[in-house]
Structure 1
């Protein structure tokens, strides 16, 4: 009875959140939207609904110009019909290797309409990763931007290929090619298509920072899932969103879906440029900016005369996710944009775990915030016992309205009490805010003392002469393990390794002082900004 009552409370609160955001405009509208999503899947169902409700509103603005919801839906129907006529449908896997543009959105929706599984490929993959993933996931259709032609030749030639965008810097589709996605769309009827027996699904890929990326299929999503994103991030209907985060990543994907569902104008750019992002925010009066931490860092690193050239006062929300944010970056962002910063803590497998709102980050820039409606986060010790005491570190487990049934290679993640391991350790403070203390497998034992590198990393990052830093545990013959710090100094700085060590020594315990400090021009990162720590340990970066 108690569990049923709790579920009813969550449902009631979720519906209230959706109404406030403008996603629940009445019973008829809600039933129609739910039916569309059930028939076609999230992307296609949302676009179908928006085409009926906001037909002439701009859905996407990219380097090709504006595209209304009605025009976008017509493109989706044409592509779905063209693929059906070519014999593709349920059981096929459509891999997408594209930057952010209308073609990517069209493919995601069209694949859902024919019942195919969509595999979102990371544009930063190397040839071996692409080939391994395509073979493992049994890809039958590949859609890619022409700039990646040199990579996709590693994939089985029997896979049907379509080019979505021509040339690395071209603002034109390759219409003259038989394999052109645009040609197929323009040569096929855009009449409505009937739904498949079962809508297609999505498979996201993990970052692959330690090997071949794992496939994480997104299972059936609760109709109330959007409430998890909206409960602590007050997005609203009819706004304009500058989506800088890549859509192949969970952050970009989730915010793209939410933008379309809200009837928002989605501003996309194929490649991230810090100044261009500010220009777009100013030109389109964007109220929402979605970035990963590295992008935010690049924006704030622009010279002041460049930043002040663009009016960003329209921003109500600067939404950041994808990797940990250093407290110093949080503070600088709040100083630059005001109390509009929202930081989501999630993962490919779990989507949303907690969200830090501006008031949370002003309270303490280190916090990951609180779980939104429909999410549960608990801490457990190594024996599987729940930790309830504040300020006690434990392993983080979470559950939400996104279902994860295991990776496509058959592996899974540890589950306790129905909650999935996040792979991180953390603690709650007395107010119920979560703090992430590091990766579960990153803990370093230095001379018998437990150290989480993230604490040292965050401290060094706050030094005025440090641009960015990574702290890693490595083997040591005397102490078992030790800390190494890889530092990118501020341009023109004369800081030395001893300065870094003295700074840590003055603020933390002596056993947390890095044994070695190495200066680099830049940290190696993947396409979503995560540091490639294996390259640092292996000495591949200088």
Structure 2
């Protein structure tokens, strides 16, 4: 089913159940559906045509949820703009996507060009916001011909009597790649892509109608928006916290009885370091999904020990595949890791190949190569970029991920590195992720990122950027000595730079491109 029909389904079946809770209040499924209906009606009354785009520039909150479902109902596409971009970057995204309307919070006014038509999501004082005033007179009726008995997990043939806007082949979202290795590219995601993602993710992560999902990831990212649509898909409650400090997250988990959440490793490490369970009750937590950056075995084990009743899992996916295409089985403290180092089992709606990136031929089982995927979750291609689309998606529908990994006989996927991040030193292939994971096991190290830098003798040499734990000290010579015996000599960093923090995208991924150029970092020392 489309997003709009799924929302209508739960509106009819459980109208008074909480759908979205934010720091400003709660909307039930009946209230949220009425909001969405009014917004969609107002878009139509304002001559926003089917297939047009609208954009949102806002922190996580109710408007982001309202707008994605209104886009589904009205047949428009929602462009989720990363508010962490600079003005030139965000304006380039808006120019590329050409939205008819931009819905924005006033703090991001500097990211919007003078020609955009803007509707402000927040007002200067109390009372209705300009956004709420804009859609107040819209028609609050539910989407046409909803079937309250239709299971959102079941396929549904298109009914010719239903509203033509409810087309599973229409694009409903336009997300931009995080640009860790280049400029962002627009990725249209179809209703069908999102539907398949919801079915797979909710089953693997045991999401259910009585769950409460804590949305910590930014909704301009595919994982953040997936949290929204998966929560509504099962008819659960989505909770948006006011912040991501340990105190704020601990309070909302305890007070709202949060059952499911996705946490990036930086947040997970804070919860562990500050022993959050000593202050807050986390007994309601059923599932913690971690990802977006290598968390490291030590951190995950510490988190599992802190929350022994909670199932932990990670996944692997991309914006182009509408989030996860491989998911790790849930594991609790004390459970043996069935496939150590794996990012998960390839989903049953996804075909996976590992190929030699130079020839496109499959490599031997267990050998490293580029990961290729074919799945109904795959985008049809990049917006306004036919050459990039042709380079990424083969004529028979295989997506070249640009990731290096291997696949075992049981269908579990092992991620080694980005093809562009692989370091070749003296003819040897060095996977930066492998080096990062080993460096991060040093007791004084909080996290690390590794890149290759030019070397006149070896072609490239390994450089590590290291963030230390609070109160710890370490120098490069001591770290390199500690690495002896733990990793091959040619893989050990010859250059170590200690920094206060690593440059990250909104989803938590380290920006290797920024490390290469020296952008967005606070340096504390240089040891080489």
User: Normalising by structure 1, what TM-score?
Assistant: 0.85
Matched-pair contact (CA < 8 Å) for 1:165–1:173: no
Q: Which one is further off, 407-416 or 190-199?
A: 190-199
Per-residue CA shift, 1:134-178, capped at 9, x if unaligned?
Answer: 1111121101112212222xx242x221112357xxxx77736xx
Tell me how many residue pairs correspond in the alignment.
Answer: 489
Call closer, same or farther: CA 1:409–1:336 in 2, change over 3 Å. Answer: farther
CA distance in 1, matches of 2:336, 2:406: 16
Alignment match, 2:489: 510
Per-residue CA shift, 1:241-278, capped at 9, x if unaligned?
Answer: 11111222111211211111211011012543332112
CA distance in 2, matches of 1:142, 1:400: 32
CA distance in 1, matches of 2:395, 2:165: 34
Choose the corresponding residue for 2:368, options 370, 378, 393.
393
CA distance in 2, matches of 1:430, 1:501: 36
- State the shift of 1:361 in Å: 7.5
CA distance in 2, matches of 1:427, 1:193: 45
Alignment match, 1:531: 510
Alignment match, 1:181: 131
- State the shift of 1:488 in Å: 0.6
CA distance in 2, matches of 1:253, 1:440: 26
CA distance in 2, matches of 1:375, 1:74: 36
Choose the corresponding residue for 2:451, options 467, 472, 476.
472
Alignment match, 1:374: 349
Matched-pair contact (CA < 8 Å) for 1:99–1:271: no
Higher percent of residues as helix: 1
Call closer, same or farther: CA 1:83–1:312 in 2, change over 3 Å. Answer: same
Residue 188 of structure 2 corresponds to residue 217 of structure 1: yes
- State the shift of 1:479 in Å: 1.0
**Partner of 1:104: helix, strand, or coil?**
helix
- State the shift of 1:500 in Å: 1.5
- State the shift of 1:224 in Å: 4.7
Matched-pair contact (CA < 8 Å) for 1:467–1:489: yes
- State the shift of 1:336 in Å: 2.1
Call closer, same or farther: CA 1:491–1:197 in 2, change over 3 Å. Answer: closer
Alignment match, 1:444: 423
Residue 274 of structure 2 corresponds to residue 295 of structure 1: no
- State the shift of 1:76 in Å: 0.8
- State the shift of 1:112 in Å: 2.0
Structure 1 regions of 5+ residues with no counterpart?
Answer: 1-33
Residue 6 of structure 2 corresponds to residue 46 of structure 1: yes
Alignment match, 1:325: 295
CA distance in 1, matches of 2:427, 2:141: 68
Choose the corresponding residue for 2:177, options 190, 194, 206.
206
Call closer, same or farther: CA 1:365–1:165 in 2, change over 3 Å. Answer: farther
Matched-pair contact (CA < 8 Å) for 2:83–2:90: no
- State the shift of 1:484 in Å: 0.4
- State the shift of 1:400 in Å: 2.0
Residue 63 of structure 2 corresponds to residue 103 of structure 1: yes
Residue 50 of structure 2 corresponds to residue 90 of structure 1: yes
CA distance in 1, matches of 2:503, 2:207: 33
- State the shift of 1:366 in Å: 2.4
Residue 301 of structure 2 corresponds to residue 344 of structure 1: no
Alignment match, 1:424: 403
Give the 5 Å matches for 1:124-139.
124-139=84-99
Matched-pair contact (CA < 8 Å) for 2:8–2:142: no
Residue 380 of structure 2 corresponds to residue 405 of structure 1: yes
Alignment match, 1:19: none
User: Normalising by structure 2, what TM-score?
Assistant: 0.87
Call closer, same or farther: CA 1:324–1:89 in 2, change over 3 Å. Answer: farther
CA distance in 1, matches of 2:250, 2:329: 22
CA distance in 1, matches of 2:211, 2:226: 16
Call closer, same or farther: CA 1:270–1:173 in 2, change over 3 Å. Answer: farther
Residue 240 of structure 2 corresponds to residue 240 of structure 1: no
Per-residue CA shift, 1:180-201, capped at 9, x if unaligned?
Answer: 1111233434234654545552
Matched-pair contact (CA < 8 Å) for 1:327–1:365: no
Call closer, same or farther: CA 1:166–1:309 in 2, change over 3 Å. Answer: farther
Residue 80 of structure 2 corresponds to residue 120 of structure 1: yes
CA distance in 2, matches of 1:272, 1:70: 29
**Partner of 2:294: helix, strand, or coil?**
coil
Matched-pair contact (CA < 8 Å) for 1:282–1:312: yes
Alignment match, 1:58: 18
Residue 419 of structure 2 corresponds to residue 459 of structure 1: no
RMSD: 2.2
- State the shift of 1:478 in Å: 1.5
CA distance in 2, matches of 1:219, 1:533: 30
Alignment match, 1:433: 412
CA distance in 2, matches of 1:362, 1:308: 27
**Partner of 1:82: helix, strand, or coil?**
helix
Structure 2 regions of 5+ residues with no counterpart?
Answer: 145-162, 524-528
Matched-pair contact (CA < 8 Å) for 2:6–2:233: yes
Per-residue CA shift, 1:342-393, capped at 9, x if unaligned?
Answer: 1010000012221112349734552212112212222112322223422x11
CA distance in 2, matches of 1:237, 1:494: 48
Q: Which one is further off, 267-276 or 132-141?
A: 267-276
Give the 5 Å matches for 1:248-287.
248-287=220-259
CA distance in 1, matches of 2:217, 2:340: 22
**Partner of 1:346: helix, strand, or coil?**
strand
Matched-pair contact (CA < 8 Å) for 1:353–1:399: no
- State the shift of 1:416 in Å: 8.0
Residue 268 of structure 2 corresponds to residue 315 of structure 1: no
